[in-house]
Structure 1
Amino acid sequence: MTIHKEGFVILTVIFLILIGSNAAIYFFMDSPVSVLKWTILLSSLLFVFFAAFFRSPKRSIYLQDKAIISPADGKIVVIEETEENEFLKDKCIQVSVFMSVFNVHINWFPISGIIRYVKHHSGRFKAAYLPKASFENERTTIAIETKEQKNIVVRQVAGALARRIVCYAKEGESVTQGQQLGFIKFGSRVDIFLPLDSRIDVKPGQKVKGKQTIIGWID
């Protein structure tokens, strides 16, 4: 299993804490052997859980113009017409992918283009599947202009457990569909705001795979 770079420091700290805890039990408890066999098992399971959270699967992609690929693993929780007032300032279609702690938490660019806008907002940490999470929770908003001069907004949203949003996007740079956009740690959501005339190929409740599932198409 390949570990994502965002997990290196956290996993090292967790590993040292677990080693230290088991060492303390061994040196300072009476009859530590009977306890250690359980604490070592629990420590191993805990470390494997965190390591799995930071897993970085190798996935190929076939670049497709006008296709919008899923920016994250998870489940579709929102498909609706809405108004995006931060960058688009117009009506659009919102598609949201909710990531549980068991999903891969890498985010990918859903389409190729030029980054026109990046902004991080501090906020609350409500459950990421709630509708208000998109504009009340801590979040980072990224706007991408396609070669057809269509604007798409991607929003990384923190959840009840997510306390760290990592975004690699920089204004003015060109990005390629499937390139890593960022990482959200411990449960979260990604919103995509598309032009009203976009064709949506997913349904609420559908499970999607980042960099693989086609969310829809733009004209």
Structure 2
Amino acid sequence: MRNLIKIAPEGYSIILVVSLLCLFSYCASIFFNYSWISLLSLYLFYFLLITFYFFRDPIRKIISNDDFFLSPADGRIVDIKPVDDSELGKSTKISIFLSFFNVHRQWAPLNATVIQTSYNPGKFFGAFKNKASEKNEQTSILFCDEHKNHFKIKQIAGFVARRIVNHMNPNLDVSKGEKIGFIKFGSRVDIIVPENFKVKVKKGMKVKGCKTVIGIYL
């Protein structure tokens, strides 16, 4: 069966507001014979279609191999580099840029337990810029998998995306492919893994959440 497409609950409020504006402007265009109102109604209708498209929430069938670390997001790999992380020590950071046209859902890459979460307010540089990883508004989620391997997923706001939704709480158990959050509009997701992780992607590659293998623990 082909992937089913649903609408992300995180977008319901925005879709409702745009729908009401669209309906109001359409009714106004009927009662008032002004061309600009009709044009506004048309633009709002197009914007409503774009909003539905952006908040699509596909159901993904995950790869069955439990050892594969799957991509937590759709997008393109824009950076892979060594870092010294405060919790994980010497690590590798893999950055995924999500354009407006990507699905903005985030999924759990492995079966794991949430150790801690944190939120850091920040700036709103373009998510494709490397400085966004450190300076932009972001949430950080530290996980521990079934084999006691630790890793982090960071949801990072971009120039347009200014609303991060994180569904994770400490001590919560998640299954591979489970929804962990959503970032509204263009954004970035960073993966931070320790030295015993073998990366299987390269800079410039397009990745798909729950489908692309990012790597494997050794």
TM-score in same-fold range (> 0.5)? yes
SS in 1 for 2:156: strand
CA distance in 1, matches of 2:143, 2:62: 19
Residues 25 and 37 in structure 2, CA contact (< 8 A), matched pair in contact too:
no
CA distance in 2, matches of 1:71, 1:120: 18
SS in 2 for 1:93: strand
Question: Which amino acid is the alignment partner of residue 50 of structure 1?
Answer: T
2:154 aligns to what?
A: 155
SS in 2 for 1:205: coil
1:64 aligns to what?
A: 65
Superposed counterparts of 1:1-219, under 5 Å: 1-30=5-34, 32=35, 36=38, 38-85=39-86, 87-88=87-88, 90-219=89-218
Under a length normalisation based on structure 2, what TM-score does the superposition of the two structures give?
0.92
Residues 125 and 136 in structure 2, CA contact (< 8 A), matched pair in contact too:
yes
Deviation at 1:67, TM superposition (A): 1.4
Deviation at 1:40, TM superposition (A): 4.4
Give the gaps of 5 or more residues in structure 1: none
Residues 25 and 41 in structure 2, CA contact (< 8 A), matched pair in contact too:
no
Kindly provide the CA deviation profile for residues 19-68 of structure 1, in whole angstroms up to 9, marking residues without a partner as x: 223333443344x4x973x5444333211111010001121113323311
CA distance in 1, matches of 2:181, 2:126: 20
CA distance in 1, matches of 2:171, 2:129: 32
Residues 63 and 177 in structure 1, CA contact (< 8 A), matched pair in contact too:
no
Question: Which amino acid is the alignment partner of residue 60 of structure 2?
Answer: R
Deviation at 1:195, TM superposition (A): 1.4
Deviation at 1:130, TM superposition (A): 1.4
Question: Which amino acid is the alignment partner of residue 57 of structure 1?
Answer: P
CA distance in 2, matches of 1:12, 1:200: 41
CA distance in 1, matches of 2:112, 2:201: 23
Sequence identity percentage: 37
Residues 139 and 156 in structure 2, CA contact (< 8 A), matched pair in contact too:
yes
CA distance in 1, matches of 2:193, 2:64: 19
The CA RMSD measured in Å over matched residues stands at 1.7
Question: Which amino acid is the alignment partner of residue 51 of structure 1?
Answer: F
SS in 2 for 1:56: strand
Residue range with higher mean Cα deviation, 123-132 or 16-25: 16-25
CA distance in 2, matches of 1:157, 1:42: 30
